[in-house]
Structure 1
Amino acid sequence: MTIKSIKGCIGCGTCVKTCPTDVIRQDPKTKKAFIKYPADCQICHLCRMYCPVDAITISPEKSIPVVVSWG
């Protein structure tokens, strides 16, 4: 598993919208995010970077440093 957990989710859906590989889904009843396809995660960090409440934790053994291009 690449995304370790989504704890403290407020159900805003930002992680679902920002995930380029569509691995995160939103439960229709609780509106909380969950990891549907963890093996397909590309570790891009977009879900974690855009989460307004910092609810997403990425496993340290799978995590890579975020590379930012400064032009």
Structure 2
Amino acid sequence: MSIHSINGCIGCEECIKSCPTDVIRLDPKTKKAVIKYVADCQICHLCRLYCPVDAIIIAPEKTIPVIVSWG
């Protein structure tokens, strides 16, 4: 299973703009986002958080549990 899947992309480019490692690109043919450099993804969840249509899914085995600081 891949790190991400992008289904239902509307081509708004918010995920591309939010990605700090520049792994997401706009496919020139479909005008939709694609994960171009999967190995370089830091799984920061910014692409998923900024997507207005919840089109990005991060595979459960690749998610990092939220760590809460107590102090």
Query: Percent sequence identity over matched residues?
Result: 76
Deviation at 1:67, TM superposition (A): 5.3
**Which amino acid in 2 is paired with 1:20?**
P
RMSD: 1.6
Unaligned runs of 5+ in 2: none
Matches within 5 A, 1:21-60: 21-60=21-60
| Alpha-carbon distance change, 10 to 38 in structure 1, aligned in 2, over 3 angstroms | same
- Given the two structures, how large is their TM-score scaled by the length of structure 2? 0.86
Instruction: Specify the structure having the higher radius of gyration (Cα).
Output: 2
- Structure number having the greater helix percentage: 2
Unaligned runs of 5+ in 1: none
Count of residue correspondences: 68
Inter-partner Cα distance in structure 1 for 2:68 and 2:50: 15
| Alpha-carbon distance change, 25 to 59 in structure 1, aligned in 2, over 3 angstroms | same
Q: Which string of whole-angstrom CA distances, capped at 9 and with x for unpartnered residues, describes residues 14-36 of structure 1? A: 00110000111001122100010
Inter-partner Cα distance in structure 2 for 1:43 and 1:18: 12
Other structure's SS at 2:61 match:
coil
Q: Which string of whole-angstrom CA distances, capped at 9 and with x for unpartnered residues, describes residues 13-60 of structure 1? A: 000110000111001122100010101100100000000000000011
**Which amino acid in 2 is paired with 1:29?**
K
- Given the two structures, how large is their TM-score scaled by the length of structure 1? 0.86
